[in-house]
Amino acid sequence: MKKIWIIGIALIIIFIAGGLWYQSQPSQLDGFAKCLGEKGAKFYGAFWCPHCANQKKIFGRAAKYLPYTECSSPDKQSQLQICNDAKVQGYPTWDFADGSRLSGEVPLKTLSEKTGCQLPQ
C-alpha cells in the first residue's frame, strides 16, 4: 500500500513539473504579441467578456504579452476611467498607432497588417 502512495505522489510531482515546464516554454506568437505593443497597438477588454477571452485564446500562452488594458471594475458594474478616457464603448476594442480603431475579435492577419508586425511562419 505504501508503494502505491509513493508511486502516486511521484506521478503527481512529474505531472506538475511537466506542466510548469510547458508553461515556461516560449510560444510561437510571443514575438508577435510583444511587437503589437511596441508598434503602439492597445487592446481594451473586460475579464467577463467572452469575445475578449476568445481574442486572448488565439494567442495562447503569448496572451500574457498583449498590450491589454482591463476596462471593467471588479464588480462588473462600471468601466474604469482609463477606458472612459479612451472612449471605449465595447469589448474587445483595438486602437492602433495610426489613430484607427477596430472592435470585436480581430484576426491575427489583420493585426499584422495594422501594425506591421510579422506573423511567424
Write down the domain spans for the chain.
27-115
Taking 80 as the threshold, does the pLDDT of residue 4 lie above it?
Answer: no
CB 51 within 8 A of CB 104: yes
Taking 70 as the threshold, does the pLDDT of residue 13 lie above it?
Answer: no
In this prediction, residue 115 carries a pLDDT of 98
What is d(CA 18, CA 58) in angstroms, rounded to the nearest whole number?
A: 23
Q: What is the mean pLDDT of residues 94-116?
A: 98
Residue with cell 489583420: 110
What is the CATH architecture of 27-115? Answer: 3-Layer(aba) Sandwich (3.40)
Q: What is the mean pLDDT of residues 90-119?
A: 98
What is d(CA 92, CA 107) in angstroms, rounded to the nearest whole number?
A: 12
In this prediction, residue 12 carries a pLDDT of 66
Tens of pLDDT, residues 43-98: 999 999 999 999 999 999 999 999 999 999 999 999 999 999 999 999 999 999 99
What angle do helix axes 30-38 and 108-115 make, rounded to 10 degrees? Answer: 40
**62 exposure class (CB count in 10 Å sphere: 0-12, 13-18, 19+):** buried
